[in-house]
Structure 1
Amino acid sequence: MENIQKIIAKNLKMIRKTRGISLDRAAEATGVSKAMLSQIERGESNPTVTTLWKIATGLQVSFSSIIREEPSEVVFVSMQDVDPVIENNGEYRVYSIFPFDPRKKFEIYIIELDPGCCHVSDPHNEGIEEYITVMSGCLKMKINSETFLVNAGSSIRFTANKPHTYSNPGADIVRYQLVMYYP
């Protein structure tokens, strides 16, 4: 498996070049500085999840299209072989298990939150849905002004075009599977 920074660099550059978008236009569309975008494209920066979401939203592509490797017919994924995208000082880790495939319109992640970690997600594009199944721990979800406690073995689904927060109020790591559906 290729280094995640190299994958992001190659994919971002390809997306931008394919669409004929300059770094200046990409910076304007995403709210990420031209210098940062350039560093990411050269593989010199390890962007945060928030930065990658800004890029994906601004360029109107899926999150995983920025972090995916080339597909093959049969894919076996082991967590030990996946480099996570890390945020919140390493307390929030996103493992891209099955990246976005436009024919299927979804992507699958495994996410880990350390005790006390709180990750705020900006609203996604209209119609995107999140399907979460907690595998271990207790995930506290705040969607708009409603709060939900999702225990291991339970699931939650919501339209993700509103502010939402993932947090771990417990003493153990929370691990959950996230399926992102793109209409």
Structure 2
Amino acid sequence: MQEINQYLADTLRQLRHDRSWSLDRAASECGVSKAMLGQIERGESSPTVATLWKIASGFDTSLSSFLEPAPAELRGVTLRSADALRQRPTADAMLMAPLFPFDARYGFELFEFTLLPGYERLSEPHSQSVVEHVVVVRGVMELLVRGVWQRLGEGEAVRFAADQPHGYRNPTSAPAVFHDLIHYPPGSDSQSR
């Protein structure tokens, strides 16, 4: 956890530096308090996924850019293991595996998320034109899109515009696992990274 917090702190500090933003300006752009941003930069706080998304949206960058660098390729092939990557990088009761962190060549990032029983997260809109593709791998979950909770079972998939409020929840007593491919529009800072 300490390694993740340090990577997040370094990335946030570098993004602010690259844009010549003060903590006040970053707080205003992200909708996150100056105190919280300062704590994150000092490695003193592990934000929730919702807070991390606010920061990513404020900087117009990908969520995965705060979790780890792009993985190494060997002759055009990248091998990843969800079991090796699965972690709880935020204060949420949700496990994340950044299977393929954002890469501007492809315009997307791919996560495996595990929602523990009873977990619910409401997400504020992401940057304009961000699209999510959710595929349930194991269990049952519910996805909030356009104000309606939709029940999704194993093998079911949904694509939706994520620049609107949405949410994820697990109303069951067993973990729910899903893949989430998040596509960023060409021209965003995410695409230029």
Aligned match for 1:76, one of 56, 74, 79: 79
Is the counterpart of residue 3 in structure 1 residue 3 in structure 2? yes
Q: Distance in 2 between matches of 1:39 and 1:79?
A: 29
List per-residue Cα deviations over 1:120-150 (Å, max 9, x = no partner): 1111111111111111111111212233211
Q: State the partner residue of 2:120.
A: 118
Rounded Cα–Cα distance in structure 1 between residues aligned with 2:56 and 2:68: 13
- Long gaps (5+) in structure 1: none
Instruction: Output the TM-score relative to the length of structure 1.
Output: 0.90
Tell me the distance in 2 between the aligned counterparts of 1:154 and 1:101: 26
State the distance in 1 between where 2:100 and 2:70 align: 11
Indicate how the Cα distance of structure 1 residues 70 and 154 shifts in structure 2: closer, same or farther if over 3 A, else same.
closer
Indicate the residue corresponding to 1:54 in structure 2. Answer: 54
Partner of 2:15: 15
Separation in structure 1 between the aligned mates of residue 82 and residue 105 of structure 2, nearest angstrom: 24
Deviates more, 1:15-24 or 1:64-73: 64-73
RMSD: 1.9
1:147 to 146, 149, 159: 149
Aligned partners of 1:58, 1:103: CA distance in 2, in Å? 22
The alignment covers a number of residue pairs equal to 181
Indicate conservation of the 8 Å contact 2:82/2:97, yes or no: yes
1:97 to 99, 123, 130: 99
Structure 1 CA distance, aligned partners of 2:163 and 2:31? 18
Q: Percent identity?
A: 38
> TM-score, normalized by length of structure 2?
0.86
Matched residue SS, 2:37: helix
* Unaligned ranges ≥5, structure 2: 186-193
**Counterpart position of 1:131:** 133
Whole-Å Cα distance in 2 between the matches of residues 23 and 11 of structure 1?
A: 14
**Residue 181 of structure 1: CA displacement?**
0.4
Given residue 45 of structure 1, which amino acid in structure 2 is its aligned partner?
S
What's the CA shift for 1:84?
2.8
Residue pair 2:53, 2:63 contacting (<8 A) in 1 also:
yes
- d(CA) in 1 for partners of 2:89 and 2:59? 19
Secondary structure of the corresponding residue to residue 90 of structure 2: strand
Letter in 1 for 2:81: S
User: For residues 81-115 of structure 1, what are the alpha-carbon distances to aligned partners after superposition, in whole Å with 9 as ceiling and x for unaligned?
Assistant: 33333344x2x222222111122110011111111
Give the structure with the larger strand fraction. Answer: 1
